[in-house]
Structure 1
Amino acid sequence: MKLLITGGTGLIGTELIGRLRDRHEITILSRTPKQAMERFGEGIQAFSGLDKIESLEVFDGVVNLQGAGIADKRWSEKRKRCLEESRWPITEQLAKRMQECEQPPKVFISGSAIGYYGAQGDRVMTEEDEVDKPDDFAHRLCAEWEQRALKAQSDKTRVCIIRTGVVLAEDDSALQKMLPPYLLGLGGPLGSGKQYFSWIHLEDIARVIEYLLEHEECQGVYNATAPNPLPQEEFSATIAKVLRKSHFMRVPGWVLKLLLGEMSQMLLTGQRVVPARLQQTSFEFNYPTAEAALRDCLLPSSSDEQKS
């Protein structure tokens, strides 16, 4: 397949390209195309913007992963605009360009996040569940992102939306931001700890995208989360167990609100999201449990020995 990938130099994009490059022709969009080609090496094309590509008809599929990190900075009004502008316009442009094609790409996979569901307590959320329109930024960001992507749907193009949980990886992921207290022996739950934490291993999110690309029967919304979400206190305890550290320093909700502002709601409310539609397919998770995922990310050499 000939694939166009936006956000190809990000955490998920880099993992995905590593999986796909030997079997597919890949073009990426990057603000620094020369650096991107040097990073990935021979065989990967890169352009600075969509306007540099004459027609999308040359591609069999498009994967849209572009977007500034939602948890990278405090949500000021300026930061909110950055999060919107890094997602909405490129998604709108891709959908419009596909609509204009006589022979558009056969598949369009576009990112979203489980923030779409808002605060749902311990209610299990699947793709089929109705969501009351929560008045929060994360939901509005994701809902608009999805609506723009779905405009590409046609009898010639199938659209898959991936609502991604917190991605766990060995490097450069949200997990590394959680670690300092644990490494000091000061780890503990956030807020009440009862809120659910839905996550996915980096390898599995790349495999989900690969699966959706290659299975023509797949379309619509998919929760890209591991099948076993945990209350945050249990996930936190699992980190401590894997690292063999103590686990007793609860972080009060008011501290998170003071430090993170509105963004703290994502950590204090959480979502209990399960990948119901993926579980109805032949897809199997390599890391279905938090302990397996955390051992691979935090103790990679040990994990490699167990695999061998």
Structure 2
Amino acid sequence: MHILLTGGTGLIGRELCRHWLAQGHRLSVWSRQPERVQALCGAGVRGIEHLVELSHEPVDVVVNLAGAPIAGGRWTRKRKAQLWSSRVTLTETLLVWLESLEHKPSVLISGSAVGWYGDGGERELTEESPPVNDDFASHLCIAWEETAQRAQALGIRVVLVRTGLVLAAEGGFLSRLLLPFKMGLGGPVGNGRQWMSWIHIKDQIALIDFLVHENAASGPYNACAPHPVRNAEFAKTLGSVLHRPAFMPAPAFVLQVGLGEMATLLLGGQRAMPARLLAAGFTFQFTDLRAALDDLSARL
């Protein structure tokens, strides 16, 4: 297959490239810096700066993961505009290109996040659950999904992957936690009762590959392990894996002052369940948090 990725140089995109290169697929990555693509994604991956470069080359699958890091800085007006442009506006550009193609891809896998639901509190959230809190992150994910869904009108199967917190040794949110935890300064955030929906990077890659090949799959899928944990339990488990204490709390008011609106990402949470993936027959390799972190510990 010929697979086009946006966001291919990010954490998930790089792992997908390695996975699909090993299977012999042909890969193209749409990037603002195409000259860096091979170094980041693999020698067999083609970097393109403009989609028109592929207009005469049939593409079988599109995986749309592009997006500036949601936790990359305070949500100023300028930052919100950047987050919106890197997801919604970019997807709109992708749709215009898809519409121009004579031979269209069979499937569009488009990124999203469990933040689509907003702060879910104690509610158990499946793909049938409505958004429960329309904060900025939720509003952004809703618009991102609605934009991608428009590809259905072009005869393209659309799958929306609502990803939880990805556990990986090579980056992602764990990389931000390592320094304070290794210094013995880790601990729960706020009251520590907020739910964290997590997924091991190996399962994230496997489920995306599964959804590409599952011809009946369409619509939203919660990409998270079936056993979410509370923030305090996550901190305790990570501290144990790193052989460090994890009792230093980060007070809510300090985060609210320091991070502003973005603090909702840390103080809220989602108890998301992968109901549709399980119903479709997908099998998770890692369902226990301790086992998932132990698998990564040597590289952490």
* TM-score scaled by length of structure 1: 0.92
Q: Which residue does 2:247 correspond to in 1?
A: 248
Counterpart amino acid of residue 185 in structure 1:
G
Give the structure 2 partner of residue 34 of structure 1: 35
Contact 2:8/2:41 (CA < 8 Å) preserved in 1? no
Any stretches of 5+ residues in structure 2 without a counterpart?
A: none
Q: Which segments of structure 1 move beyond 4 Å, counting only runs of 4 or more? A: none
For residues 33 and 215 of structure 1, the distance between their equivalents in structure 2, rounded to whole angstroms, comes to 30
Could you say which residue in structure 1 is the equivalent of 2:103?
A: 103
Check the 8 A contact 1:103/1:156 in 2, yes or no: no
Q: How does 1:158-169 map to 2 (within 5 A)?
A: 158-169=157-168
How big is the alpha-carbon RMSD for the aligned residues of Structure 1 and Structure 2?
Answer: 1.7
Q: CA deviation at 1:183?
A: 1.2
2:94 is the counterpart of 1:94 = yes
Q: Secondary structure at the match of 1:153?
A: helix
Name the residue aligned to 2:270: 271
Q: Give distance in 1, aligned partners of 2:103 and 2:151.
A: 12
Q: Answer whether contact 2:197 2:271 (CA < 8 A) is retained.
A: yes
Residues 166-220 of structure 1: CA distance to partner in whole angstroms, max 9, x if unpaired? 1111022111211223212232111011110111111211111111111111111
Check the 8 A contact 1:96/1:152 in 2, yes or no.
no
Q: How does 1:81-160 map to 2 (within 5 A)?
A: 81-132=81-132, 134-154=133-153, 156-160=155-159
CA distance 1:292–1:186, shift in 2 (3 Å): same
Q: How does 1:185-204 map to 2 (within 5 A)?
A: 185-204=184-203
* Identical positions, percent: 43
Equivalent-residue separation in structure 2 for 1:83 and 1:61 (angstroms)? 24
1:43 aligns with 2:44: yes
Letter of the 2:90 counterpart: I
Q: Which residue of 1 aligns with 2:26?
A: 25
**What runs of 5+ residues in structure 1 fail to find an aligned partner?**
302-308
* Alpha-carbon distance in 2 for matches of 1:135, 1:278: 25
- 2-side partners of 1:34 and 1:121: how far apart? 44
CA distance in 2, matches of 1:35, 1:184: 34
Cα-to-partner distance string for 1:14-55 (whole Å, 9 max, x where unaligned)? 000000013211111111212213444443211112243325
The aligned runs of 1:198-217 (5 Å cut-off) are 198-217=197-216
- Measure how far apart 1:101 and its partner are: 3.4
After superposition, what is the alpha-carbon deviation per residue over 1:250-285, rounded to whole angstroms, capped at 9, x for unaligned? Answer: 211011112211111111111111111001122111
Equivalent-residue separation in structure 1 for 2:277 and 2:69 (angstroms) = 25
Contact 2:188-2:250 at 8 Å conserved across structures: yes
Q: 2:255 is matched by which residue type in structure 1?
A: L
SS at match of 1:204: helix
2:71 equivalent to 1:77:
no
**What does residue 229 of structure 1 align with?**
228
Q: CA deviation at 1:64?
A: 0.4
